[in-house]
Homo-oligomer: A and B are copies of this chain.
């Protein structure tokens, strides 16, 4: 992408290295990348059984080890574009864009104007729904994240109240998709947003998101209200 592209300029707002311990996070992101490659290939691979067994054994041992460490104290906000003010939580933890979260394709998202945003993602075979195409649920999930980001540009971010996804045609796997999102208008606490996703020049789906602005105290209270699992 050219250096004068407005997306790249604005991307510095989210500096992926602005985390408490960049070296640790670099390793977590590398681990996540490797896991994405395994996820992409394991279901459809004809790997022999002994190879799969050895890998399963090793990963079970590693999971045991990871679980033996205490969890980080929550110092990093939370991972959703809609309401996160925190770079590290947003960039690393999100199940949609998180660099250290193997669930995330990841989607890459940035401001493209005063009240607009652009995002890109390439979905691999692990995200398949209809043959050769992205699962409709993942299309909706990506829209939720992109709309959640663009609604926050108005300065009074909120949570998703209603998300409508219109599927125009199947969205292909293995090609870079481009999401365009707009903050359309604000009415009191209601924030109206729209977005489209393109494969090349082809529109494959559109979305409308209604967000309800919430005070930041209310958001902090959510964390306290959350039902905590035993032993965590």
For the complex, is A194 an interface residue (Cβ under 8 Å from B)?
Answer: no
11 contacts between A and B (CB under 8 A): A27-B56, A30-B53, A37-B66, A41-B71, A43-B92, A51-B65, A101-B126, A131-B219, A133-B222, A163-B165, A174-B228
Q: Which single residue of chain B is at the shortest CB-CB distance from A127?
A: B95
For the complex, is A28 an interface residue (Cβ under 8 Å from B)?
Answer: yes
Tell me whether B31 and A78 are in contact (CB under 8 A).
no
* A82-B34 CB under 8 A given contacts A45-B72, A103-B127: no
Flag the segment in A110-118, A137-145, A178-186 that touches B: A137-145
For the complex, is A132 an interface residue (Cβ under 8 Å from B)?
Answer: yes
**This protein's copies in its complex:** 2
Tell me whether B101 and A39 are in contact (CB under 8 A).
yes
Chain A positions within 8 Å of B, measured between CB atoms, are 23-24, 27-28, 30-32, 34-35, 37-39, 41-47, 49, 51-53, 55-56, 58-60, 62-63, 65-67, 69-72, 74, 78-80, 82-83, 92-96, 98, 100-103, 126-133, 135-138, 140-145, 148, 159-167, 170, 172-175, 219-220, 222-223, 225-229, 232
User: When the two chains form the complex, which single residue of B62, B101, B132 contacts A43, counting CB atoms closer than 8 Å?
Assistant: B101
Bound-state CA distance A175–B228 (Å) is 9
When distances are taken between beta carbons in the complex, the residues of chain B under 8 Å from A130 are 78, 80, 82-83, 159, 219, 222
Bound-state CA distance A220–B170 (Å) is 13
Tell me whether B47 and A39 are in contact (CB under 8 A).
no
Bound-state CA distance A62–B159 (Å) is 39
Tell me whether B173 and A162 are in contact (CB under 8 A).
no
User: When the two chains form the complex, which single residue of B34, B46, B142 contacts A63, counting CB atoms closer than 8 Å?
Assistant: B34
When distances are taken between beta carbons in the complex, the residues of chain B under 8 Å from A55 are 31, 62
